[in-house]
Amino acid sequence: MTKKVHQMSIKFMFVFVFLLSTCKGFDELELLLSVKASINDQSKSLANWNSSISFCKWNGITCFDSSHVSKIDLPGKNLSGKIPDSIFRFPYIQSIDLSNNQLFGDIPQNLSSCYPLRYLNLSSNNLTGIIPSGQYLPFLETLDLSNNMLSGQIPENIGLFSGLKVLDFGGNALFGNIPNSVTNMTSLEYFTLASNQLSGEIPRNLGLMKSLKWIYLGYNNFSGEIPKEIGELIYLNHLDLVYNNLTGKIPSSFGNLTNLEYLFLYFNKLTGRIPNSIFNLKKLVSLDLSDNSLFGEISENFINFQNLEVLHLFSNNFSGKIPNALSYLPHLKVLQLWSNRLSGEIPKDLGKFNNLSVLDLSTNNLTGKIPENLCASKVLFKLILFSNSLEGEIPGSLSFCKSLQRVRIQQNRLSGEMPPGFTTLPLVYFLDISSNYLSGRIDNREWDMPQLQMLSLARNGLFGPLPRSFGSGKLENLDLSGNSFSGRIPESFGEFSELIELKISESQLSGQTPYQLYCRKLVVLNLSHNHLTGEIPVSMSEMPVLGAFLAINSTAVVGNDLCGGEKNDRFTTLRWELVVASGKSVLNKNSKVFLAKDIGSISDSRWMEYWNKLCKIDHPNVVKMLAMCRSEKGGILVYEYIHEGKDLSEVFGCLNWDRRIKVAVGIARAIKYLHCSCSPCVIVGDITPRKIMVDEKGEAHLRLSLPGINSCSDSKFFNSSAYVAPETKGSKDDLLTEKSDIYGFGLLLIELLTGKSWADTELGIRDSIVEWARYCYSDCHLEMWVDTMIKNDQTCTAGDPEARPCAIDLVKNLDSVVRSSSNCVFSGFKLF
């Protein structure tokens, strides 16, 4: 004990002598004025930095003993320029926060001049170069250099920061291994290196860092097995190793982590069974082991997870039955077990004692009936059970599940008629019950589904006349093929103004095709193999998109007794020119068409100018353009095929927080590229979930259209979409700008955060989702709209267009969120 006291005395004597030596010759007023002179203060945040008042009263300055600078706090002040060396020469400085600015260049190498420094945050800037090495700052507790463009390796002597409690180097371009010297930081609690290019094995000696509460090493290239020594970190609350190349088994030592609440190991190459010791983790709130090669049965010991809210085990090789234990987890909200080898029946009490909002058991080998209690929570909005062998009738209880939004129960063996109320669910926008054995008529029931966009009843045993309406003005995809419908095609189908796909093939329909069938947005039409007669209505040739495809492909009407007639010469006389993007192939095995979109009249010569810009765009988060078909009446854009790509509107509800933020980051990077790297810059114009594709790896791809490709100085395009900023609406002379794109992205971000869209009917007294967001933020009612994986006490403020960040700042802010994903840390975002 005496020896330890003696060593401490020597240390503090050294500090005292050091401070005396560093104080000599430094005038703190001059140092502050030097800092001001070195920084570009665009927002005038340093306006009162002048000698007319005491510097202790300057903005962002806090003093110790009323005479010495102890704190420089200037986050989010729109400061630019290089960080001056002088900022690290204040002899009594304890805290420096320059985060969320636009500072660039290298980090000064003289950090050790700030010997008393406890807090240093330079995150979310544009800093480059390497992390300073050889620094001895024994009192430093927080070092945050995240969300910059730092490169090189983590310094071998990083352990000199021995007093650190928080270290965040995430969101940079660091490579190489984690140095062994990190174990010198025995007080470290939060350790984040996510979203870099680090490789090698995770050091086993992390087990020596007994104070760790948070480890986030995801989105790197780490390989090898997960060190069993991590199981010795008994205070660990959050462990995230996702998106690496980790192999081997989940260490049984993880059973010692009794304080663990979040365990994320998804998207690795892990094998073996879930170790029984895991069930000791009774505090677990969220468990995601998806996208690995785990196997074995899912244990009934899941009953131990009484606090579990989210369970993701999908895309593995689990077999056996779904354990009954899952039915008795009172807080369980999200259960996703899809794409495994599960068999047997769905537990009959599943949903009865849970709080289920998302259930996805698709692509397994499940049998038996759909349980009656799945919607007992009254909050189930996503029910995904397709590609199993489920049988029996659709439960009548689902007719009363008013919270349902997305229902996919196709490719099973369901029989009987649809329950009466199943066609009046108010929030359902996607309903697919195709490829079953359903029977009965559908014209004699009420159809009132105001949000319905996609309806597929294909390949069942339905019969009788078709209904005149499906109770929705938003219907985009309608597939009724492969049934025994009879009678005529209702003339009212021509009122489906949003319809993109209409399939009524292989049925018993008769009579003429109604001339009223004019759906301007129709891309796919299949009326083949019915008993239709008469002439093909000339109105079909006038459909801007479909006209081209009917001229190319006659299979849409084959198997009927239809004729062309003189009036249909337009099908053959329409002149369509195929314009192919330079260097890109079309309609071959390497480049497939996945969607065509109407671009309206292209008589204006500016279209070709826009096309030339569009086809040159090359970014991993922007869908490549392959070709354009054009005529005097309109045009069709042909995009590159996105493998396993789905609209964001289809998948975002089943994405966990990490994957949602990955989508947000991808789109932010696309916008940054379009705004900052294209000359002249490219304005998206209308950023909606339907214009975003998410591929099999969770990467987001923005799909552009010609009206959104325009110069910043000539963007006079009117758009009434709710995703377009309010200041751009009102007349055709309003301009779309970078700021209006940021507004649209803000609404998109709200959907990712909440699952609610701008048109949501559940927003209470608020006029719009923007006002609702402002209300929730300002009154800290975050529990109203963020899920339980996002626990954050920071606010996301709203502001005028000039206050919205530019695309560069957007990416920086979102990258910082990636590294703090479970806490959803947003630093003063002004999107609206």
644 confidence band (pLDDT: 50, 70, 90): confident
Asked if residue 23 has pLDDT above 50, the reply is: no
651 confidence band (pLDDT: 50, 70, 90): confident
In this prediction, residues 680-687 reach a mean pLDDT of 77
Vertex 130: Cα angle to 810 and 223 (nearest 5): 80
One-letter amino acid for residue 802 of the chain: E
Q: What is the pLDDT of residue 752?
A: 78
Among 52-66, 724-738, 785-799, the minimum mean pLDDT is found in 785-799
494 confidence band (pLDDT: 50, 70, 90): confident
In this prediction, residues 299-327 reach a mean pLDDT of 97
Asked if residue 821 has pLDDT above 50, the reply is: no
Asked if residue 200 has pLDDT above 70, the reply is: yes
d(CA 378, CA 374): 9
Q: What is the pLDDT of residue 467?
A: 95
pLDDT digits (tens, 9 = 90+) for 513-537: 887 777 777 878 888 899 988 777 7
Q: What's the fold here for domain 436-572?
A: 3.80.10
Asked if residue 326 has pLDDT above 90, the reply is: yes
What is the arrangement of strands in the sheet containing 126-127, beginning at the earlier edge strand? 40-41, 79-82, 102-105, 126-127
Between 204 and 698, where is the model more confident? 204
Distant-in-sequence, close-in-space partners of 57: CB < 8 Å, separation ≥ 6: 48
Q: Which residue carries 């919607």 as its tokens? A: 375
Q: What is the pLDDT of residue 588?
A: 42
Among 271-275, 343-347, 788-792, the minimum mean pLDDT is found in 788-792
Q: What's the fold here for domain 2-88?
A: 3.80.10
Which among 181, 168, 112 has a CA at the least distance from the CA of 142? Answer: 168
179 confidence band (pLDDT: 50, 70, 90): very high
Q: Give the domain ranges of the chain.
A: 2-88, 436-572, 573-640, 646-823
Which among 192, 275, 296, 205 has a CA at the least distance from the CA of 240? Answer: 192
Residue 768 Cα distances to 229, 278, 295, 755, 759, angstroms: 51, 44, 46, 15, 8
Q: What is the pLDDT of residue 222?
A: 97
d(CA 295, CA 330): 26
pLDDT digits (tens, 9 = 90+) for 428-447: 999 999 999 999 999 998 99
Asked if residue 601 has pLDDT above 70, the reply is: no
Between 625 and 196, where is the model more confident? 196
6 confidence band (pLDDT: 50, 70, 90): very low
Asked if residue 357 has pLDDT above 60, the reply is: yes
In this prediction, residues 494-504 reach a mean pLDDT of 89
Asked if residue 704 has pLDDT above 70, the reply is: yes
In this prediction, residues 51-79 reach a mean pLDDT of 93
Q: What is the pLDDT of residue 714?
A: 33
Asked if residue 656 has pLDDT above 90, the reply is: no
Equal fold, 2-88 vs 436-572: yes
In this prediction, residues 666-685 reach a mean pLDDT of 79
Asked if residue 265 has pLDDT above 50, the reply is: yes
Q: What share of the chain is helix, strand, coil (3-state, %, to 5)?
A: 25, 20, 55
Among 197-201, 709-713, 775-779, the minimum mean pLDDT is found in 709-713
Q: What percent of the chain has pLDDT over 70?
A: 73
Asked if residue 567 has pLDDT above 80, the reply is: no
Q: What is the pLDDT of residue 832?
A: 32
pLDDT digits (tens, 9 = 90+) for 76-89: 999 999 999 999 99
Q: What is the pLDDT of residue 789?
A: 44
Q: What's the fold here for domain 646-823?
A: Transferase(Phosphotransferase); domain 1 (1.10.510)
Q: What is the pLDDT of residue 165?
A: 97
Q: What percent of the chain has pLDDT over 90?
A: 53
In this prediction, residues 128-149 reach a mean pLDDT of 89
Residue 232 φ then ψ, to 5°: -90, -5
111 confidence band (pLDDT: 50, 70, 90): confident
Q: What is the pLDDT of residue 274?
A: 98
In this prediction, residues 261-282 reach a mean pLDDT of 97
Residue 407 φ then ψ, to 5°: -130, 120
Q: What is the pLDDT of residue 325?
A: 97
547 confidence band (pLDDT: 50, 70, 90): low
Between 296 and 554, where is the model more confident? 296
Residue 264, classified by CB atoms within 10 Å of its CB into exposed (0-12), middle (13-18) or buried (19+), is buried
| Average per-residue pLDDT for the chain | 80
Q: What is the pLDDT of residue 5?
A: 35
Q: What is the pLDDT of residue 606?
A: 60
Q: What is the CA radius of gyration of the chain?
A: 30
Strand partners, 239: 215, 263
pLDDT digits (tens, 9 = 90+) for 446-466: 999 999 999 999 999 999 999
Q: What is the pLDDT of residue 434?
A: 97
Distant-in-sequence, close-in-space partners of 418: CB < 8 Å, separation ≥ 6: 394, 433, 438, 440, 442, 445
Using the 8-state DSSP alphabet, how is residue 586 labeled? -
Asked if residue 289 has pLDDT above 50, the reply is: yes
Strands 635-640 and 593-598: antiparallel
Between 501 and 566, where is the model more confident? 501
Report how far Cα 46 is from the mean position of its chain's Cα atoms: 37
Report DSSP letters for 679-696, one per residue: SS--------GGGEEE-T
d(CA 669, CA 812): 9
Asked if residue 793 has pLDDT above 70, the reply is: no
